[in-house]
Structure 1
Amino acid sequence: MRGAKAGGANGRGAAALYAVFFLNGIVLASWAPRIPQVKEQLGLSDGLLGTALLGVALGSVPAMPAAGLLVNRFGSRPVARCAALVYAPAIALPGLAGSLTELLLGLAVLGASVGALDVAMNAHAVDLERRTGRARLSSFHGLFSAGALAGALLGTAAAAGGVGVRTQFTVSAVVGVAAAGLAVAALHPAAPPPPPPPRGRGGGHRGGGAGRLLPLSALGLCVLLVEGVMTDWSSVYLADSLGAGPGPAGAGYAAFALAMTAGRLGGDRAAGRFGPVHVVRWGALSSTAGALVALLSGHPAVSVAAFCVVGLGISASFPLVVGGASRIPGAPAGTAVATVSTTGYFAFLAGPPLIGFLASHSSLRTALFLVPALALAAAALAAALPAPEPGKKIPLPLEETPSGR
């Protein structure tokens, strides 16, 4: 009976965490389709808009390591609860902005809250894996990707239907607060952290943990640079370099995003069967090949299909990086997750401007050859992933055991 109750509680906690990941994706992605309207309402130039969009980075990058320290001190659940309840209403701030300064500050608050939530929810997912012995971090990220797709579709539909920016974001904030409140209330308490290994044995020395985080952070940087570049430039490449119309050009990112979602939902099973190193290495090599085909083919339809391969190849990599960081001896889980998340998120934000800079000095097609180079580097860095914990099983969707249903 006690085991059945524990299984049911863990199942409800897992379902609540899936909801938090989905909420994270849907709220933030609903902002992107409305950027042109916000730009027009405030009368911003492209340069001033770029300055305002830096607010997300200015808020998130310092918030992530701070959240890691708070997770180490208080646990992942209270940090996730606070961050989610700030994040959900923060989406209204960009829509309510009446000036460049207000927009910058609003995006900084949004960035800080989403950065803290990213660290806390990933740390909580790691804790749930440790508690249940079931690998599921990639599927959590799959729900984030699904939420991002849903948010982008909702934002696009609202814009096409003439819904005002302030109206959409105000409604999103109200609904988001209610949904976040329900989800975080059901999160399971964190399990006690495993005891640290003795100093001088098995990597228990602090420097060993920090040293092993460096290649993992580099791996996370590579894969999220690829994701950031593909998110912002895949459709532009199809339209400007290959002459595709609006529909086919838009299909480029849609194919990439759908493949990312599908790959993440199946990433845990693949890692359980073949091992994290093989999944990341062969996935990155597939992404390298797909990117090269997209850049060398010259045909929009072929490039769209190749973008699908790129997305599928790197889909599970970052969740496996987060899980690997949490298993490094001598590195507190909150700090380790915050380190790879901060590095990766910075890369995700910095990648698209870097491509723009390179394209201005050559061509967009030439600049985008950075994508296969980064994917190849990720394949080489895959060996930095620690071995999975003994006894970790392939997950059941949303349930811990049949008795938890």
Structure 2
Amino acid sequence: MNASTAKLIAIRGRWALAAIFLANGFLTGSWAPQIPVFLTRLEISKFTLGLLILLFGVGAVVAMTWCGHLISRHGSRTVLRWFALCGSLGLMVVALAPDVPLAAVAMIIFGGSIGGMDVAMNANAVVVERRLSRAVMSSSHGFWSLGGFAGGGLGGFAIQHYGHLVHAAAVTAFAFAVIAVAVRHLLAEDRPQAAEHHKFALPANPLVYLIGLMALLAMISEGAVLDWAALYLRQELGADLAVAGLAYAGFSGVMAVTRFFGDGIRNRFGAVTTLRASALVAAVGMLVAGLAPSPWLAIAAFAFCGFGIANMVPIIFSAGGNQEGMSSGTGMSVVTTIGYCGILVAPSAIGFVAEHSSFGPIFITMSGLLIIVLLMAGLAHRAEFAPAPAE
């Protein structure tokens, strides 16, 4: 294979991966406007809703825990293909659930497929970066946010005018079509993954766990907007369903635009400096959202928060996937698993607090967590991108 053909294949793999990120974001963003309907359709309390979202996190974390092992054995391309095709059906399974027990099972399935897909696609992004000798993680996450923006923005309108089942069916059809085409062009690793993880074991390097803690704090805040911003606007600030869906849409839309510039920003100012500035901006936006007296100010504040959070998770994930002494799949599995523990723990805790007070103090607390990420940002120095050495 000559150099031009190899480069063409790598570029095709990069855009195929971008399509996978977009589909994952579209599925996740489409879940956000389904949440108020889910609450009223099953006639459950906010605390019970939090427990059901907790099961989404359980499914995601269980899948993520084993995903690094699967990637070490089979490669990120193979693992991503299967999780992505299964994940495209997840929202439809949840929308069809007629009662709480079946909804619980559906949430575990949805969470597991999306979680495994998340680890595998981020590990494959590290493969693409090494093949192209340039950073693509932030722009890949930009496509995820673009999908989230489209899913959140269109979802409220579609549900309000056509119902939640029609909406879920349309989302499923679109995601499956995109994924079915994209998986044919994904890149495979150049050589077998590190033999240390042909059997399941945890890495000994403590730094990867601290990076995972940063991911957890960032993703708690991101998950709080995904799972609760629509209810916050609808129940406490008086927004209708279509406007309430704009909270996560604005958050994801600004993240998408910012992430498309994120690789250039990271290369120019450095990963650590970019992470510190991003955490500060995100903390300010979350604080204003928690204090907002009107839905439109809250939407603007969530959008500003998205501007800050945009490059936090890509930088943290890139640092996790480039740790010394372990494969990219193993490092990514640890960091994403710990990060998604924020989605595992936070929803039920937020639901419990909201049941006894309000959502405003919750978002103010999220601002404090983002300040902690700012203080830990120096640990992400492995995200300073450098091409892999020649063999």
Aligned ranges for residues 86-97 of structure 1 at < 5 Å?
86-97=86-97
CA distance 1:193–1:129, shift in 2 (3 Å): farther
CA-to-aligned-CA distance 1:48-78 (integer Å, 9 cap, x gap): 5444333312211111011111001111000
CA-to-aligned-CA distance 1:84-119 (integer Å, 9 cap, x gap): 121122332223323322222122111111111111
CA distance 1:193–1:149, shift in 2 (3 Å): same
Name the CA distance, whole Å, in 2 between partners of 1:38 and 1:297.
26
Matched, 1:342 2:337: yes
CA distance 1:35–1:369, shift in 2 (3 Å): closer
The residue type equivalent to 2:119 in the other structure is V
- Equivalent position of 2:369 in the other structure: 374
CA radius of gyration, larger in: 1
The residue type equivalent to 1:181 in the other structure is A
The residue type equivalent to 1:21 in the other structure is F
Uncovered stretches (5+) of structure 2, i.e. residues with no partner: 196-200
Q: CA deviation at 1:164?
A: 5.4
What secondary structure, in the 3-state scheme, does the structure 1 residue paired with 2:263 have?
helix
Name the CA distance, whole Å, in 2 between partners of 1:148 and 1:75.
27
What secondary structure, in the 3-state scheme, does the structure 1 residue paired with 2:83 have?
helix
Whether the 8 Å CA contact 1:25–1:144 is kept in 2: the answer is yes
Q: CA deviation at 1:347?
A: 0.6
Matched, 1:258 2:244: no
More deviation, 246-255/18-27: 246-255
- Equivalent position of 1:201 in the other structure: none
- Equivalent position of 2:281 in the other structure: 286
Name the CA distance, whole Å, in 2 between partners of 1:310 and 1:94.
29
Aligned ranges for residues 186-335 of structure 1 at < 5 Å?
186-192=185-191, 210-234=205-229, 251-295=246-290, 303-335=298-330
What secondary structure, in the 3-state scheme, does the structure 2 residue paired with 1:331 have?
coil
Name the CA distance, whole Å, in 2 between partners of 1:241 and 1:85.
38
Name the CA distance, whole Å, in 2 between partners of 1:297 and 1:152.
21
CA distance 1:230–1:110, shift in 2 (3 Å): closer
More deviation, 359-368/239-248: 239-248
- Equivalent position of 2:108 in the other structure: 108
Whether the 8 Å CA contact 1:54–1:104 is kept in 2: the answer is no
CA-to-aligned-CA distance 1:369-390 (integer Å, 9 cap, x gap): 2122111101011000134466
Whether the 8 Å CA contact 2:127–2:188 is kept in 1: the answer is no
Uncovered stretches (5+) of structure 1, i.e. residues with no partner: 197-205, 394-405
- Equivalent position of 2:181 in the other structure: 182
Q: CA deviation at 1:291?
A: 3.5
Name the CA distance, whole Å, in 1 between partners of 2:54 and 2:132.
39
Whether the 8 Å CA contact 1:209–1:328 is kept in 2: the answer is no
Kindly report the root-mean-square deviation, in angstroms, between the aligned alpha carbons of the 2 structures: 3.1
CA-to-aligned-CA distance 1:202-248 (integer Å, 9 cap, x gap): xxxx9985211122011111111121223344455566666778777
Name the CA distance, whole Å, in 2 between partners of 1:90 and 1:302.
33
Matched, 1:173 2:168: no
Whether the 8 Å CA contact 1:355–1:368 is kept in 2: the answer is no
Q: CA deviation at 1:15?
A: 0.8
Name the CA distance, whole Å, in 2 between partners of 1:247 and 1:91.
19
CA distance 1:239–1:318, shift in 2 (3 Å): same
What secondary structure, in the 3-state scheme, does the structure 1 residue paired with 2:261 have?
helix
The residue type equivalent to 1:266 in the other structure is F
CA distance 1:358–1:21, shift in 2 (3 Å): same
CA distance 1:36–1:236, shift in 2 (3 Å): closer
- Equivalent position of 1:9 in the other structure: 9
Whether the 8 Å CA contact 1:228–1:349 is kept in 2: the answer is no
The residue type equivalent to 2:84 in the other structure is A
- Equivalent position of 2:124 in the other structure: 124
What secondary structure, in the 3-state scheme, does the structure 1 residue paired with 2:191 have?
coil
TM-score normalised to structure 1 length = 0.83
What secondary structure, in the 3-state scheme, does the structure 2 residue paired with 1:210 have?
coil
- Equivalent position of 2:198 in the other structure: none
- Equivalent position of 2:80 in the other structure: 80
The residue type equivalent to 1:220 in the other structure is A
- Equivalent position of 1:25 in the other structure: 25
Percent sequence identity over aligned pairs: 33
The residue type equivalent to 1:290 in the other structure is G
Whether the 8 Å CA contact 1:60–1:115 is kept in 2: the answer is yes
What secondary structure, in the 3-state scheme, does the structure 2 residue paired with 1:227 have?
helix
More deviation, 221-230/149-158: 149-158
